[in-house]
Chain A
Amino acid sequence: MKLVLGGWFRLPRLGSDVFSALMKQGVRYDRELGFKLGHESDVESAVKTISGALGEDMELSLMCLVCSNEACPSCPYAVTCDRRKVSPICLCGEHARGPGAFHTYVSTFASMLAE
């Protein structure tokens, strides 16, 4: 299963023990949107919990700040980047390079601050 950090995802019912473990590990829950692994989460432990409960390996990906798409496909740092330890938002290939990329990043964040 692939988990996009910083984005919402759904899980099947895994029981109250798993749910309570995920809450302790800082995973956010919203009845409408599902679960979210963000900056407050202990990503390493939460991934172990989910992986153990589902009985399958987890593939982690970061989320692009600008377009909310997955950031990791085609990233030159995909092999060396430890996604469990870095800050969960990143940039996709389209928004990481190219003229005006930094300006787009700053103005996207500034508009989030202004909301």
Chain B
Amino acid sequence: MSMWSEKYRPKNIASMVGNEESRLKFVIWFRKWKPGSKAALLVGPPGTGKTTLVHLAAKEFAMNLVELNASDTRKKDQLVKRIGEVASSENLYGERSLIFLDEVDGLSGRKDFGAIDFIKDTVKSAQNPVVMAANDPESEQVRKLSDVSLVIRFRPPAPREVELYLRSVAEEEGSTYTDEEYEAVVKGANGDLRYALNSFQSAGSTGYKDVEMTTVQAINTFFDAKDSETSLRALRAYPKQPRDKLRDLQASIIRSGLGGDERARALDVLSRADIIMGKIMNGKDWRLLRYFDSMLAHELKEALGDHAVQYSQDSAPWNLQLRIWNDSRKIKEITASYSGRLHQGRDSTAVQDIPYLFVLSSSKKFRGELLRSLNLDETFEKFLDKEAARVKVKE
């Protein structure tokens, strides 16, 4: 069974919904574009149709789409290699190219030396149109690139337009639903059309009455279920974004009276689910979303066993939040110093190297040398000691 969000992707610019003025402005820019014109910078939250618009424009104007995610191709030399020549030439078949740089707000001004300046120079001299997309309108990158770009804002479509699209899909599928059923899905989607379609499809396969479940009902049904299939149905009947589901499940587990081991196992499942969610979002691999609820339902139920958990909307107790905040601050400081010594990015240092530092920190001699070499004060001694002990306990 194919995902409706893929099957019912708009076929052309006119059949998208929402952002009518923005789409119109983009098409006018495209038609009038000539070498030396400004680039188009599409700015707005994820799921508002920026990428779809660019893909459809390339198709409708018969252009070869050269797409780069700026977060993956961050440095100037990488950008030169990928788009340097394309920007100023036709391809072998004489087709013009449309250069699309997605997520330009993912470029870091400090780490990605020269990338923004290179993009600005490329826009000025390009023989092919350049389109960029960013999520954060307030970012420094958007501010810098707006000198050479026509900035076009994108917003979530109004709920009635989301409903209009769902109705057109239902008509294609030959299905009929009540107004209340449409409204339940649209309200849960918060303007995210892709999410609305996915939840519309999964709700249809599990029975529409489930869609009306509230957060409390869905979470309690999830935890009370005797088998993972019932838990899965509860999760699918829960019209919220995957990240919100994770947050609600996490709050309920933390606030429950679960023992240390069960709680740790359950939080470990949520942590893995969060990583998978991050990968889905980064790679825009929406097909994997269909496995997300399933993974949560099966693994979390197994981790919890017969232990009772009830819905709680409170977040973690304040003393735990304070501890998390203090620890994360310390980890950030250690990562910043250590990544400087390694000449590598902070993200990869935090993921690849810091866990080993904690293991090695069980040696007092190593801890002392590490603190001296990184110029960290004695408060870190206690922190590293604690982390090393935690790693030992885990072993």
Contacts and interface: CB of A to CB of B under 8 A. Distances in A.
A58 to B, nearest CB: 18
A80 interface: yes
Contact of A102 (B21, B48, B167): B167
Contact of B20 (A81, A102, A109): A109
Interface string A1-33: 000001000000000000000000000000000
A90 B15 CA distance: 14
Contacts of A107: 14
Contacts of A38: 21
B158 interface: yes
B24 A113 contact: yes
Interface string B183-198: 1001100010000000
Given A39-B21, A113-B13, A113-B14, A90 B160 contact: yes
Contacts of B15: 106
B155 A39 contact: yes
Contacts, number: 94
A101 B167 contact: yes
A87 interface: yes
- Which secondary structure characterizes the binding site on chain B? helix
Nearest to A104: B164
Task: Please provide the 5 A-B residue pairs with the shortest distance between their CB atoms, ordered closest to farther.
Answer: A102-B168, A77-B159, A90-B158, A110-B14, A39-B21
Given A86-B159, A113-B13, 17 more contacts: A39-B152, A65-B20, A71-B158, A75-B159, A86-B18, A87-B19, A87-B21, A88-B21, A88-B155, A90-B158, A90-B160, A97-B164, A101-B167, A102-B164, A102-B165, A102-B168, A113-B27
19 contacts: A76-B179, A77-B158, A77-B187, A85-B155, A86-B18, A86-B157, A86-B158, A87-B158, A88-B21, A88-B155, A96-B163, A102-B164, A102-B165, A102-B167, A102-B171, A105-B164, A106-B15, A113-B13, A113-B24
Interface of B: 13-15, 17-25, 27, 48, 152-161, 163-165, 167-168, 171, 179, 183, 186-187, 191
